Structure 1
């Protein structure tokens, strides 16, 4: 029984250790120096469409552009349907969105649609209203290959883009194997003990 419990705890440890670990892309390592600049296509382990731009709160009309820190990304030239993708599937929790304080046209809603590697739709957030104050758009999509972010019209800003990794840590795999060995060993000993106590009857 003791061996079984140890194995059970080891398995539980694996489940806890493989819980998705969040990573937030806050764009704070990008320095726009008071202007908007094109975001590199490869950034933070993801592939960004060519019309993503980054900026800071010194850009005119974007004083509310950052949810945290000073940096953010935006849809350059008010482009619709921007994508974020990866060759390796990722889990997407959500991101913070707002409409900048610029005098130009600004978005009033955001919609995020997720696709898997076969280009099948995983899910959509639906149209989520945004304003000049930041709004968290929750997604919780798993095994994403590509996200499409659309809006009704004009500009939006995005910050604290949150992804998750559900890959087990190596130590967790060791814990699982140890648990299975202990469970298997305990079962074998019980079977042997049962045979010794109840030997087969000879005819």
Structure 2
């Protein structure tokens, strides 16, 4: 009985701990620290499908949103070459864009191989603008679609790692209480 009460008392604490662990990650590209290709596993994501290039310094209209660095796709790449993958599901918030007028960008979001959402379309300018994913579900692959790859810059790519829902944590604790209760009964015999 004490163990069950302890588990019930710990459930809210664990749920809050999981919620705190779900803080957003923003990749600024400034920590890469040099011009060159984005490392394959930068920020815990897989950037190896494309030739994302990190660059710094003032280059109008490719204005950074924060810091000095931002990334660009390869010039005239196919959209598939902009694929960013995550080994574990994430919630993708969006990113900031600047670039040439007409170099519109859209996010295509995938989960387990299926297209689950497409964002609005943003026409960049020299003033960085945020393009929200517009989707709150889980994704494991993000494609930045544009008819003019290489003519925009992306900065402050923001996502949140998926964490168990509070109901899942409570269910796990209930199972743990059940198993510990059975173990106690067996130990008394």
The two structures share one fold, judged by TM-score above 0.5 = yes
**What RMSD, in angstroms, separates the aligned Cα atoms of the two structures?**
3.3
1:32-71 aligned within 5 A: 32=34, 36-48=35-47, 49-58=49-58, 60-61=59-60, 64-71=62-69
Query: How many residues are aligned here?
Result: 166
Structure 2 equivalent of residue 115 of structure 1: 110
Q: Do 1:96 and 1:136's aligned partners in 2 also have CA atoms closer than 8 Å?
A: yes
Task: Give the alignment of 1:118-157 within 5 angstroms.
Answer: 119-139=113-133, 140-154=135-149, 155-157=151-153
**3-state SS, counterpart of residue 67 of structure 2:** coil
Q: Distance in 1 between matches of 2:161 and 2:16?
A: 13
Distance 2:102 2:88 in 1: 30
Question: CA 1:11 to 1:151, structure 2 compared with 1: closer, same or farther past 3 Å?
Answer: same
Runs of 4+ more than 6 Å apart: 6-9
Q: Provide structure 1 residue ranges, at least 5 long, that are not aligned to the other structure.
A: 1-5, 100-104, 182-203
Contact 1:94 1:162 in 2 (8 A): yes
Q: What is the rounded CA distance, in whole Å, between the counterparts of 2:41 and 2:8 in structure 1?
A: 42
Task: Name the larger-Rg structure.
Answer: 1
1:71-86 maps to which residues of 2 (within 5 A)? 71-81=69-79, 82-86=82-86
Q: Is the 8 A contact 2:138 2:162 kept in 1?
A: no
- Residue 71 of structure 1 and its aligned partner are, at CA, apart by 0.7
- Which of the pair is proportionally richer in helix? 2
